[in-house]
A = this chain, B = another copy of it.
Amino acid sequence: MRCLLWTTLLSASISFSQGHLSEKQIQQAAALRDTAIKESQAYDIVESLVVEVGPRMAGTEADARAVIWAENKLNELGFDKVWKEEVRFPSWKRGQEVCEIVQPYPQPLMVTALGGSIGTSEEGLTAAVVEVASLEALKEIDPSKVKDKVVFISNRMERTRIGTGYGSAVGARVHGASVAAEKGALAVVIRSIGTDDHRLPHTGLQRYADGVRKIPAAALSNPDADLLQLALKRAPVTIKLTLGCSESGEAVSHNVIGEMTGREKPEELILLAAHLDSWDLGTGAVDDGVGVAVVTETARLIGQLKQRPRRTIRVVLYANEEQGIWGGRAYASQHQDDVKNHLIAAESDFGAGAIWAFATKVDPAADETMAQIAAVLEPLQIQAVVEDAYGGADIGPLMKLGVPVVSLMQDGTHYFDIHHTADDTLDKIDPATLNQNVAAYVVFTYLAAEADIRF
């Protein structure tokens, strides 16, 4: 991503009078920002979700409890309207997961099944291991080298602030099984797509290509991937992999939606997104309990003002993001007819780090108003960057339908230490940083809801 600063642009050619926001509106946003820093209840919200529900993989009984929790919480916090919308998807369940080196150096390896993977037989699968350095290397390899073997993709994700290392490594997770299967492999194990060195493997979605034989797919923790590499340097290695996971039929969950109704243009929506589901290994504190707390608390704080902003603030807590953006796609499909009412959207789903940049993907006519918003964000150590905003996974389908987005970009330096692992727990959230996130969201949300402009 390019990260050219807007600063030059700002100082050179823009003054507040050129945007569509009044001094009074800007002062109100600044006051909300300062209130969020001091009085945000975001931590209480995520603590409540983690302690009272915990892991909530889409389609499970815990996911259903999370939906009830969300409806209750939005009502309790004074939203004007709260409802849910159905989302259907194929569900998947995890079972036992065991991996071990059986020859020549018997010892266990910590493994987890990738989401959507088929299982092995009950007795497990025992085969020689072939290491490949990356998905690209696997694509090039001669099939005779991997036939009837377990392919081990050993590339390691790079740590960066904006998460670019994830994008370049995750292909091994998503496509590794099918690429290996096409060449005759029996299973694929990958080095976890993560930046930590703990014995907690990273799960995440993998997708079988159409028409290709399905084979089991799993991830080793980074220390276990190191160990397997060292063993392979010494001698041929045989491993045994036992996975009890399986597809388990169609399931139903719900997008949970709450609104603070606009006082002048209630049909015009500022959409704030997060996802309610989580992977099963952790407690979903950071992914995406943080997002749920940030967007919920943002609407609550704005709802505390003496009057509602001009437009409606709609919080959508999406179902099943993790297994294929099912909630986001269902929402876009169900709201095709009123998509034009969605003036702009933002999503909080990149961990618990501080927001350091504000990026937009809007009509150039809105640039000056965005610059006014950026100026109110600046005391939070947030830079405005000239760059097309990514938006977020759940609002991606709305973006495709033309809804403008902004990104309040978080520091993701440490996010992939715990992403999709058992280590996604409450202690990884710093309350002050969480409040900085809320402060940024209230500034953007309030001003977007007040601005007399389409984006």
Instruction: Select one of B50, B226, B231, B428 contacting A427, CB under 8 A.
Output: B226
Which of A194-202, A334-342, A381-389 contacts its partner?
A: A194-202
| Smallest beta-carbon distance A429→chain B, Å | 11
Q: Please determine whether A105 and B199 come into contact, CB atoms closer than 8 angstroms.
A: no
Known contacts A51-B231, A200-B200, A230-B47; is-contact A62 B425 (Cβ 8 Å):
no
Given contacts A198-B200, A200-B199, A428-B197, contact A62 B423 (CB under 8 A): no
Q: Quick check: which of A21-29, A106-114, A123-131, A308-316 contacts chain B, the rest being far away?
A: A106-114
- Pairwise interchain contact A234-B51, C-beta atoms closer than 8 A: yes
A426 and B198 contact, Cβ closer than 8 Å, known pairs A231-B51, A234-B51: no
- Give the residue name and chain of the B residue nearest to A285 (CB): B223
Bound: A234/B55 CA distance, A: 18
**Complex CA–CA separation, A227 to B422 (angstroms):** 13
Residue interface bits A93-132, CB-to-B below 8 A is 1, else 0: 0000000000001111010000000000000000000000
- In this complex, how many residues of chain A approach chain B with their Cβ under 8 Å: the count is 33
| Those of A209-223 within 8 Å (CB) of chain B | 222-223
Cβ of A178 within 8 Å of any chain B Cβ, yes or no, is no
Distance in Å: Cβ of A221 to nearest Cβ of chain B: 9
Point out the residue from B200, B223, B227, B283 that lies within 8 Å of A107, measured CB to CB. B283
Cβ contact within 8 Å between B427 and A62: no
* Chain B residue at minimum C-beta to C-beta distance from A233: B51
Q: A54-B105, A105-B54 are in contact. Are A425 and B199 (CB under 8 A)?
A: yes
B227 touches A283 (CB 8 A): yes
A52 located at the interface, meaning its Cβ lies under 8 Å from any Cβ of chain B in the complex: yes
Closest-by-CB residue of B relative to A226 is: B427
B53 adjacent to A222 (CB under 8 Å)? no
* Chain B nearest CB, measured from A41 CB (Å): 16
- Name which of A50, A51, A107, A428 has the most chain B CB atoms within 10 A of its CB: A51
A425–B109 Cα distance when bound, in Å, is: 12
Taking a contact as CB atoms under 8 Å apart, the answer to whether B52 and A223 are in contact is: no
| A223-B427, A427-B222 given; A51·B105 CB < 8 A | yes
Interface hub of A108, A197, A227, A230 (most chain B Cβ within 10 A): A227
CB-CB under 8 A for A227 and B425, given A55-B107, A105-B51, A107-B55:
yes
**A129 CB to nearest B CB, Å:** 14
Chain B nearest CB: distance from A101 CB in Å?
A: 8
> Is B198 within 8 A of A54, CB to CB?
no
| Distance A226 CA – B50 CA, assembled complex (angstroms) | 11
Chain B proximity mask over A23-60: 1 for CB below 8 Å, otherwise 0: 00000000000000000000000010011111100000
| Complex interface: chain B residues within 8 A of A47 (CB) | 230
Expressed in whole angstroms, the Cα–Cα distance for A159 and B230 within the complex equals 32
Contacts A62-B107, A200-B198, A283-B107 given; indicate if A227 touches B423 (C-beta within 8 A). no
What's the Cα separation between A320 and B135 when bound, in Å? 44
What chain B residues lie within 8 Å of A106 (beta carbons)? 54, 62
Chain B residue at minimal CB-CB distance from A425: B223
User: Given that A47-B230, A198-B198, A200-B198 are known contacts, is A54 also in contact with B107, CB under 8 Å in the complex?
Assistant: yes
Q: How far apart are A173's CB and chain B's nearest CB, in angstroms?
A: 21
Provide the bound-state CA to CA distance between A197 and B198, in Å.
Answer: 11
A47 to B107, CA, bound (A): 14
Other A-B contacts than A54-B108, A107-B283, 16 sampled, CB-CB below 8 A, are A47-B230, A50-B227, A51-B234, A54-B105, A54-B107, A54-B227, A62-B106, A198-B423, A199-B200, A199-B421, A199-B425, A223-B425, A223-B426, A223-B427, A226-B426, A227-B426
Q: Can you give 14 contacting A-B residue pairs, CB < 8 Å?
A: A51-B231, A53-B107, A54-B106, A54-B107, A197-B428, A198-B423, A199-B282, A200-B200, A223-B283, A223-B426, A226-B426, A227-B283, A227-B426, A230-B426
User: What 4 pairs across the A-B complex have the smallest Cβ distances?
Assistant: A54-B107, A223-B425, A199-B422, A51-B230
